[in-house]
Amino acid sequence: MIDIFIISHFVLWTLLIVVSIALIILFKTVQNLKMAEKRNLVNEEEFLPRRDSGLPVGDLFPKLEIQTLENKTININQKGVLGSIVIFSSTTCSVCDEVYPDLTSFSKMNPELPVFLFSEGEKNELDKKIKDFEIDVPIHLITNDDLIKTKTNVFPFAYFLSPEGYVLSKGVINNAQGDLNILIKMADGNEGLAV
């Protein structure tokens, strides 16, 4: 009888140790998964969707001189700035309407980063958007040829260009303030690609 008591006691302690070890492993695994998920969320917030679309990073932007709606010729690669932001939009794009309200304020708060709006659509529709959203940045009415040259097929899409006109970062934006700041952060480390 003493043997059965010792054996049951031994089995009980063995099970207790095994279950304790399993709980510790489970707890650590759950902690690691939570940490990995947090790192994943942080990393995703540092990038814009569709960053694989458009011109490759490091390529020279093909349209460095534009004709604005006011018939002014403007160079995108301006001297004395940190870079330029080119935003592609369409008058028929409802998501683009979320970007327009902050364009002017972003441009005024960041004079070292001129913003250019390349828009697809009818001029009268674009004039209405300018009035409705009080857009005060240089606007270029684009053609299908412009879209082909810039490999842009989604709106609203933004490029951050070096002062010389090379693509440093790009992606789909859904609001001007937050996403344009992400666009600029994405360019960190890509300055050396512009030759």
- Reported as a single tens digit per residue, the pLDDT across 76-105 is 887 788 899 999 999 999 989 989 988 888
Nearest to 156 by CA among 5, 53, 27, 32: 53
pLDDT at 132 over 90: yes
pLDDT of 14 reads 93
Domain boundaries, the chain: 1-45, 65-193
Q: Which CATH class is domain 65-193?
A: alpha beta
Q: What is the pLDDT of residues 67-83, one digit of tens each?
A: 888 889 888 887 788 89
Q: What is the pLDDT of residues 150-160, one digit of tens each?
A: 888 889 999 99
pTM of the model: 0.71
Section 8-13 average pLDDT: 87
Distance CA 82, CA 79 (A): 9
Distance CA 9, CA 52 (A): 63
Per the prediction, the chain carries an average pLDDT of 84
